[in-house]
Amino acid sequence: MKLIVRADDYGYTKTHNDGTIEAIENGIVTAVDIMFDTPGTIDGLERIKDYPWISIGWHSHFWGAPILDPSLIPSMVNEEGKFKFRKDQKLKAECVYDEVYAECKAQMELCIKYLGKVPDVATIQDNGTEFERARKQICEEYGIVYNFFSKPDYEGNLIEAREEYKDLNIYMPNQPATVYKVCYSDEYSKRSEYSPVNYYTQDQGDLLSKEITLTAWHPGYLDYYVMSESRLGEARVTDVKALCSEELKCWIVDKKVELINTRDALYNTNEYQNHLRSIQSDLLIK
């Protein structure tokens, strides 16, 4: 089985980025999804250039503040000038196409300025909104691959990859519904049950039966901004520890799991394995 390990919320803050980088350098992270609207965006873009074997995704939540002047995109922001979707993603349906297009274009130009290129991939929600139509247009104009994996929705129905990527058989299990839900409990004893290591070693997502699996976590360290914005809290630090754990690395070796990045999956390259070879890692597939 080939495994992509994605770190979501990269770019949250510099402190959060520190945890993501820890999981890249000493763990098994092979891809990141970066946010372009949060305090750590530029720090994240500048630092990830040192890790060319990591593929880059465009994080789609829009939780922070726009790059453009809020007065130019009134349908997207609240009275504080921040994106209005932090607690209700359905509000994206109220957005005007031209405003979303302009903001997304500004985000891609920021990425080019600091990273030298646009993200490799993105996920577009097929919900008929002008918001997602504008994002799709940006992906097509900048050559960003989108909707390349299949996954179940929250009702268990399979959302299939775009036709041109179905033969790749990239599968993403519905981890938020099966793993992260314990982090939202008011009972600390429930939250303490959260274990990314067990998710893999007990094969809770039936990963070993798949050709290529994409799993997503949120490894990062905490500061006041992250703690005040996110319900995941300490789960982020747990993710750093888990993705760096020797137990998980031993499972990868024992099960002959081949770690790859997203570009490897799309283009049949060996970037991540070549990186493991260059550092003489025991995780290199034999």
The answer on 200 and 97 residing in a single domain is no
Enclosing domain of residue 122: 60-146
User: Which pLDDT belongs to residue 286?
Assistant: 83
pLDDT in the model for residue 63: 87
Are the C-beta atoms of residues 279 and 268 closer than 8 Å to each other? no
Contact 48, 14 (CB under 8 A): no
Both 118 and 10 in one domain: the answer is no
Residue type, 91: L
Please check whether residue 172 is in contact with residue 216, taking contact to mean a CB–CB distance below 8 angstroms: yes
Q: What is the pLDDT along the chain (286 residues), one digit of tens a residue?
A: 999 999 999 999 999 999 999 999 999 999 999 999 999 999 999 999 999 999 999 998 898 999 999 999 999 999 999 999 888 888 999 999 999 999 999 999 999 999 999 999 999 988 889 999 999 999 999 999 999 999 987 777 889 999 999 999 999 997 655 566 666 666 666 667 888 999 999 998 899 999 999 999 999 999 999 998 887 788 899 999 999 999 999 999 999 999 999 999 999 999 999 999 999 999 999 8
Q: Are residues 140 and 1 in the same domain?
A: no
46 inside domain: no
From 60, 138, 131, select the one nearest 97 (Cα to Cα). Answer: 131
Are 73 and 141 contained in the same domain? yes
d(C-alpha 214, C-alpha 196), whole Å: 14
Number of domain units in the chain: 2
Domain contains 49: no
Which residue matches tokens 């290199």? 284
65 and 203 in a single domain? The answer is: no
228 with 284, same domain: the answer is yes
| DSSP letter, residue 91 | G
Do 129 and 271 sit in the same domain of this protein?
Answer: no
- The secondary structure of 156-192 as a DSSP string is S-EEPPPGGGGGG-EE---HHHHTGGGGG-S-HHHHT
In a domain? residue 88: yes
Q: Does the residue 120 lie in any domain?
A: yes
Q: Is residue 27 part of a domain?
A: yes
Tell me: do 202 and 272 sit in the same domain.
yes
Q: Is 192 helix (H, G, I), strand (E, B) or coil?
A: coil
**Helix residue spans in the chain (DSSP H):** 14-25, 41-48, 97-115, 130-142, 175-178, 188-191, 196-201, 224-229, 235-243, 246-254, 262-267, 271-278
CA nearest neighbour of 226 among 28, 63, 72: 63
The answer to whether position 50 is within a domain reads no
Rounded to two decimals, the pTM is 0.94
Instruction: Please check whether residues 132 and 176 belong to one and the same domain.
Output: no
If asked whether residues 134 and 213 sit together in one domain, one would say no
Classify residue 110: in a domain, yes or no.
yes
Residue at a domain's end among 125, 146, 167: 146
Backbone angles phi, psi at 130, to 5 degrees: -65, -30
User: Do both 178 and 222 map to the same domain?
Assistant: yes
Same domain, 185 and 266: yes
